[in-house]
Amino acid sequence: MFGAPAKVVLAAGATDMRRSIDGLSLIVAQVLQQDPLSEHWFAFCNRGRDKIKLLHYDRNGFWLHYKRLERGRFRWPDASPHAETVMGRRELSWLLEGLDLGQPQAFKAVSARLVA
């Protein structure tokens, strides 16, 4: 279906959740100055921090994922509207689980090296 994103571009600040694929694609292209047809995923959050939309393109069409929390708030970075934050799949997972992006207690990523 769809693989892991090359990178996740997060639109910090609040986004109007009434926007659908076309409106979010315009934000990606004009405000974030990214290509909406790239392999990247683009994440948006509402003002109340309880709704997230993820937009990404997959071969011949867009996917739009939507998550609404029944309790609690996402720990979404505050910034001027539509400021860009780039993260990996691991940090996106933390964000969707309601954790801080910093995660000081998380294990650091280790790059593979040859063991003789």
Question: Is 114 part of any domain?
Answer: no
pLDDT at 24: 97
Question: Is 3 part of any domain?
Answer: no
CA–CA distance, 48 with 25 (Å, rounded to integer): 22
The model's pTM? 0.80
CA–CA distance, 37 with 39 (Å, rounded to integer): 7
CA–CA distance, 107 with 27 (Å, rounded to integer): 34
Question: Is 12 part of any domain?
Answer: yes
Question: Is 77 part of any domain?
Answer: yes
The answer on pLDDT for 22 being more than 60 is yes
Question: Is 19 part of any domain?
Answer: yes
Question: Is 86 part of any domain?
Answer: yes
The number of domains in the chain is 1
Task: Tell me the residue range of the domain where 43 lies.
Answer: 8-96
Question: Is 21 part of any domain?
Answer: yes
Calculate what percentage of the chain has a pLDDT beyond 90. Answer: 44
